[in-house]
């Protein structure tokens, strides 16, 4: 229950019927805009991959993947994807997608170790996207350009939803504020990472925090990030490290920072070796994905994930992700939500 926020006086602005229609409107409009803005084509993605090949996303390295044996493969184990960060890069190579173009897909995952609450469910749905880049585009400047392109689609989507539902009011900031995680720490040295996110989003509305995964001056990373997909250790602007980040906006319903996307420029062979060493995971260099990357068989890329239910929750101005998607919730949380006017599906 510590992860549950119950906004005082909350009532949904949309009926259940309007909500269901709104979910489809948001998803259809946003993914079409994203595809056009980043020049992405839609592909079909797996729900599970074989264990032990280094293809699944390890997230922060502690989450357990849901797995099962496959009878016709001598009980070799498959595991439900956490995300498709590495699979997408393999697909860029398979489809031979040239720089300036990419792919996106619907990613569905089960994350059994989530702390269930307003923002986190056992079921994760997001648009996973990946785009081939050149070596010259491995820069903070290019990363910011892509973030602005994505945010522009978000602004268009918000205006579209408010046109469809006049009872909703637009609230997104007109632009994104960029800040490195180390600069954010210096601004708010007495706050923990989540409180710093709340403070900066309250101030600017929409924020992209650069450098997620690398250790900061207080001896801790802003947040954990696996060592073998995002590049969080290459020096960027002002000597600060990191070519990745998180896109957050201020959520006026929950009155807190609200993460929409985690994304970044992906590791090249040099960065992956460096980060595997930092993380004490050099044994991964022998896995299928990693050997192909180190052999130069995978293109340079940028990519990320954008939460589908998160985006719908934001634009339809809901207090709980369970108002957008059907999942399993603790009985006490479901009852507390009912009493607070939050109707979980």
Q: What is the pLDDT of residue 3?
A: 82
Q: Is the pTM for the entire model greater than 0.75?
A: yes
Contact 55, 289 (CB under 8 A): yes
Q: What is the pLDDT of residue 93?
A: 97
Calpha distance 155→147 (Å, rounded): 12
| Set 12, 58, 79, 111: catalytic member | 111
Structure tokens at 52: 């032990």
Q: Does residue 162 sit in helix, strand or coil?
A: helix
Calpha distance 272→227 (Å, rounded): 7
Q: CA angle, 69 as apex, 65 and 70 as ends, to 5°?
A: 125
Residues 6+ apart with CB under 8 A from 73: none
Select from 253, 267, 262, 215 the least CA-distant residue to 86.
267
Q: Which CATH superfamily is domain 16-339 in?
A: Bira Bifunctional Protein; Domain 2 (3.30.930.10)
| Set 231, 246, 268, 323: catalytic member | 246
Instruction: Compute the CA torsion angle 249, 120, 224, 145 (nearest 10 deg).
Output: -30
Structure tokens at 163: 């046109």
| 259 flagged as catalytic | yes
Structure tokens at 23: 């979910």
Distance of CA 42 to the CA centre of its chain: 18
Select from 311, 317, 308 the least CA-distant residue to 18.
317
| 39 flagged as catalytic | no
**For every one of its 345 residues, what pLDDT tens digit does the chain have, with 9 covering 90 and above?**
458 999 999 999 999 999 999 999 999 999 999 999 999 999 999 999 999 888 887 666 667 888 999 999 999 999 998 889 899 999 999 999 999 999 999 999 998 888 899 999 999 999 999 999 999 999 999 999 999 999 999 999 999 999 999 999 999 999 999 999 999 999 999 999 999 999 999 999 999 999 999 999 999 999 999 999 999 999 988 889 999 999 999 999 999 999 999 999 999 999 999 999 999 999 999 999 999 999 999 999 999 999 999 999 999 999 999 999 999 999 999 999 999 999 999
Q: Is the dihedral of CA 31, 33, 37, 41 positive or negative?
A: positive
Distance of CA 71 to the CA centre of its chain: 33
| Cβ burial, residue 68 (10 Å; 0-12/13-18/19+) | exposed
Q: Does residue 104 sit in helix, strand or coil?
A: strand
Q: What is the pLDDT of residue 62?
A: 66
| Set 12, 31, 35, 57: catalytic member | 57
- Taking residue 60's Cβ as centre, other Cβ atoms within 10 Å add up to 13
| 111 flagged as catalytic | yes
- Taking residue 24's Cβ as centre, other Cβ atoms within 10 Å add up to 10
Q: What is the pLDDT of residue 53?
A: 87
User: Can you name the residues that pair with 244 across neighbouring β-strands?
Assistant: 264
Q: What is the pLDDT of residue 2?
A: 59
- Taking residue 173's Cβ as centre, other Cβ atoms within 10 Å add up to 15
Query: Following DSSP, what letter does each residue of 199-229 receive, concatenated?
Result: HHHHHHSEEEEE--SSB-TTSSBSS---TTS
φ and ψ at 287, to 5 degrees?
A: -80, 160
Structure tokens at 71: 């009878």
Q: Does residue 166 sit in helix, strand or coil?
A: coil
| 198 flagged as catalytic | no
Q: Does residue 111 sit in helix, strand or coil?
A: coil
Q: What is the pLDDT of residue 63?
A: 74
| Set 35, 83, 126, 325: catalytic member | 126
Distances (CA, A) of 25 to 29, 168, 311: 6, 14, 11
| Set 35, 262, 301, 333: catalytic member | 262
Calpha distance 313→319 (Å, rounded): 7
Calpha distance 215→224 (Å, rounded): 9
Residues 6+ apart with CB under 8 A from 56: 49, 65, 79, 81, 82, 86
| 57 flagged as catalytic | yes
Q: What is the pLDDT of residue 65?
A: 86
| Set 259, 284, 285, 292: catalytic member | 259
φ and ψ at 149, to 5 degrees?
A: -65, -45
């Amino acid at each position: 229950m510590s992860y549950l926020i119950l906004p005082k006086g909350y009532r949904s602005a949309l009926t259940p019927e309007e909500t269901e229609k709104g979910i489809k409107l948001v998803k259809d409009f946003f993914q079409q805009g994203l595809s056009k803005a980043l020049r992405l084509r839609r592909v079909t993605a797996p729900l599970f991959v074989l264990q032990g090949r280094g293809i699944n996303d390890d997230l922060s390295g502690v989450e357990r993947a849901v797995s099962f044996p496959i009878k016709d493969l001598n009980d070799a184990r498959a595991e439900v994807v956490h995300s498709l960060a590495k699979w997408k890069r393999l697909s860029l190579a398979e489809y031979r997608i040239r720089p300036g173009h990419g792919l996106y897909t619907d990613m569905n995952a089960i994350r059994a170790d989530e702390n269930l609450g307003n923002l986190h469910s056992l079921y994760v749905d997001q648009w996973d996207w990946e785009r081939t880049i050149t070596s010259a585009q491995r820069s903070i400047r290019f990363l910011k350009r892509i973030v602005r392109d994505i945010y522009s689609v978000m602004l268009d989507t918000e205006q579209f939803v408010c046109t469809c539902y006049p009872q909703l009011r637009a609230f997104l900031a007109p632009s994104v504020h960029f800040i490195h995680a180390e600069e954010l720490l210096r601004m708010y040295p007495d706050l923990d990472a989540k409180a710093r996110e709340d403070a900066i989003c309250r101030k600017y509305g929409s924020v992209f925090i650069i450098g997620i995964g690398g250790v900061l001056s207080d001896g801790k990373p802003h947040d954990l990030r696996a060592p073998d997909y995002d590049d969080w250790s290459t020096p960027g602007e002002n000597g600060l490290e990191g070519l990745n980040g998180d896109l957050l906006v201020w959520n006026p319903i929950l009155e807190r920072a609200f993460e929409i996307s985690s994304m970044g420029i992906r590791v090249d062979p040099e960065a992956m070796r460096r980060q595997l060493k930092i993380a004490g995971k050099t044994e991964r260099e022998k896995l299928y994905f990693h050997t192909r990357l180190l052999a130069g068989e995978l293109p340079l890329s940028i990519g990320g994930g954008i939460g589908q239910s998160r985006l719908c929750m934001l634009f339809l101005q809901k207090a709980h992700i369970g108002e957008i998607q059907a999942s399993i919730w603790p009985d006490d949380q479901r009852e507390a939500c009912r009493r607070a006017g939050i109707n979980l599906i």
